[in-house]
Structures are given as C-alpha cells and as structure tokens.
Homo-oligomer: A and B are copies of this chain.
Amino acid sequence: MKLTSFTDYALRLLMYVAVNDDRLVSIREVSEVFDISRNHLMKIVHELGKGGYLKTVRGKNGGFRLGMAAKDINLGRLVRYTEDDLNVVECFDESNPNCKIISQCMLAGVLQLALSSFFEVLDGHNLDDLIGGLCFPEYKQIKLEDKSV
C-alpha cells in the first residue's frame, strides 16, 4: 500500500517551497535538501506547474514559487492529481480482462469505499496545515556544511 514516489516528493517539494515563500526556490536546492535526483524533480516541477501548484521563472536567477496560497492547496485534490493510477487493485481498471467475476464481485466496492475514506481525510487538510512550525536549515548553511565534510 503505497503512494508513488512522485507524490511523496511532490508533497515534500511543495512544503519546502511553502516555507520559503519569500523567494524563488531552485531544483538544485530541493535536490540537495532531500537527496532526490534532479531529473525526477524536473518532471515533478513541470507537472506541478501544469496543475497551477507552482509558478516558474526562467533564466539564470530563475526558480519556482507556489502558484497559489498554501491554504488553497487541498491535499486530497493534490494527491489525486499526482497519483496517475488510483486502481487500488487490478480489477478497478475496467479494461482489465483478467477477472471472471467482475460483474458480481463486491470486493471493488469495499475497496472503493476504503479509498474514498482515505481521500476524505486528505480532503480535510491543505498544504498550510503541514508547514506550521516547520523549518528547514538555511540552504546556504547546508552548502557550507557539505563543504566541511
């Protein structure tokens, strides 16, 4: 039972950007703070940009910031957006021909209820709820520490 690493990293990235809301954040920076590959982050930033969650500024001193207020980023809507596959089991996918009992089976119904219940909790929270009291080490400090290792 797992969310994709795409969702996991998207959530962490948005939390970091939300905390550093007085400036643009770079992919390099997030990559160093969370030890996530830049390639993976580029895809995530692109998707979050498409969804309006991030606004990117191109150029040498470019970067990205939140595309909307943290309190307006609902976690349920966000995770539905970042998860490309909400078929908890194979037979949620109606094009799947591998199950001969699909028409009478009550398993999908129960799991659908459980999934709805999972998202109901997320629907009740927004990004702003996650960052209260959260602080990251200053990015420059991290770089200095790295050099001293």
Contact = CB atoms under 8 A, between A and B. Distances in A.
Interface stretch (A38-46, A58-66, A119-127): A119-127
B35 A98 contact: yes
A75 interface: yes
A42 B73 CA distance: 45
Centre residue among A1, A4, A111, A130 by max chain B CB count within 10 A: A1
Contact of A110 (B90, B106, B121, B137): B121
Nearest to A11: B107
Contacts of A106: 129-132, 134
Interface in A74-97: 75, 79, 83, 85-91
A137 to B, nearest CB: 7
Contacts of A89: 2-3, 7-8, 11
A87 B3 CA distance: 9
Given A11-B107, A33-B100, A119 B114 contact: yes
Given A101-B136, A114-B121, A107 B130 contact: yes
A57 interface: no
A70 interface: no
Given A34-B99, A75-B110, A106-B134, 8 more contacts: A1-B2, A1-B79, A1-B85, A2-B89, A34-B98, A35-B98, A106-B130, A107-B130
